[in-house]
């Protein structure tokens, strides 16, 4: 059954939530109804579009991929990641998120940022746009912070993250993605809010997990973050299959009698 914001929020403390990313209708169909929600992450700018970071993803790209994912997974709650630079002020954020809601079937958007983005979350949620927050390691800060930096390493930063979570919750976020945070800090952040906290590289003491589909299926070979569990070695399965196909073509093993008209 397709989740709603209410059913997602009721899960907190009762069962763990699972989220996966998807970028196209083909894989979204495979994930439909298996997970609680699908995120059309701007990570597609790396593993799908081949760029070094997420920053050059555009609104048009995110809308295109979100449309495809919604078509492939009609029974799953789909979240569209708002790309870098599309929510720097309330007016732009509202204009761009309304475009996402009008042009796709997404149930919510995701924006990166804590207390400093609470006014943006408020502007969206008070205008009927459901918002999933994203705090901790925020990939859109890759260039400004000079890399991916793990958060929650000391008490001061943990306190700041707790405040971030409280402020975006109070602004109306229905859930929060928490990325790249030490487990003890993640535990305290999760306990401090009543909305579900979905971790990625944040340990097990959260309300659910999210993984990037191409990481967990072992298809993205450029690098493997420590927190990723590869459930299959997709890259070698695909390479072996293609190499077998090429040999079959060369050896006249393909097509056979039943594979022709």
Distance CA 103, CA 97 (A): 10
Closest distance of CB 175 from ligand KIV, Å: 11
| Residue 173 main-chain phi, psi, to 5 deg | -60, 135
Q: How far is the CB of 212 from ligand KIV (least distance, A)?
A: 5
Is residue 38 a contact point for ligand KIV (CB under 6 A)? no
Whether the link from the prior residue into 255 is cis, omega within 30° of 0, is yes
- By CB under 6 A, how many residues form the interface with ligand KIV? 11
- Which of residues 118 and 210 has its CB atom nearest to ligand KIV in the complex? 210
Burial degree of 107 (CB within 10 A; 0-12, 13-18, 19+): buried
Residue 177 in contact with ligand KIV, rule: CB under 6 A: yes
Q: Among candidates 37, 74, 35, 44, which has minimal Cα distance to 62?
A: 44
177 is written with which tokens? 């993605």
Binding map of ligand KIV across residues 60-89, x = CB under 6 A, - = no contact: ---------------------x--------
- Residue closer to ligand KIV by CB (options 21, 61) is 21
- The neighbouring-strand residues paired with 134 are 112, 177
Active site residue 90: no
Interface ranges with ligand KIV (CB under 6 A): 21, 39, 41-43, 81, 177, 179, 200, 210, 212
């Amino acid at each position: 059954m397709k989740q709603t914001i209410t059913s997602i929020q009721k899960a907190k403390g009762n069962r763990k939530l699972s989220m996966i990313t998807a970028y196209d209708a083909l894989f979204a169909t495979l994930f439909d109804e298996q997970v609680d929600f699908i995120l059309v992450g701007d990570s597609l700018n790396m593993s799908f579009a081949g760029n070094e970071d997420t920053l050059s993803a555009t609104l048009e790209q995110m809308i295109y991929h979100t449309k495809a994912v919604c078509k492939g997974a009609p029974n799953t709650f789909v979240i569209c990641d708002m790309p870098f630079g599309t929510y720097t002020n309330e007016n732009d954020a509202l204009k761009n998120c309304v475009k996402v809601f009008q042009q796709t079937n997404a149930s919510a958007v995701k924006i990166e940022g804590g207390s400093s983005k609470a006014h943006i979350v408020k502007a969206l949620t008070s205008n009927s746009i459901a918002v999933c927050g994203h705090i901790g390691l925020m990939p859109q800060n890759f260039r400004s912070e000079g890399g991916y930096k793990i958060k929650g390493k000391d008490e001061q930063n943990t306190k700041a993250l707790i405040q971030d979570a409280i402020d975006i919750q109070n602004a109306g976020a229905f859930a929060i993605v928490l990325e790249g945070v030490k487990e003890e800090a993640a535990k305290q952040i999760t306990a401090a809010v009543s909305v579900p906290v979905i971790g990625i590289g944040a340990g097990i003491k959260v309300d659910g997990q999210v993984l990037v589909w191409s990481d967990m299926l072992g298809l993205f070979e450029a690098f493997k973050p420590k927190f990723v569990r590869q459930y299959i070695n997709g890259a070698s399965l695909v390479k072996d299959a293609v190499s077998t196909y090429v040999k079959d073509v060369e050896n006249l093993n393909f097509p056979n009698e039943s594979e022709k008209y």
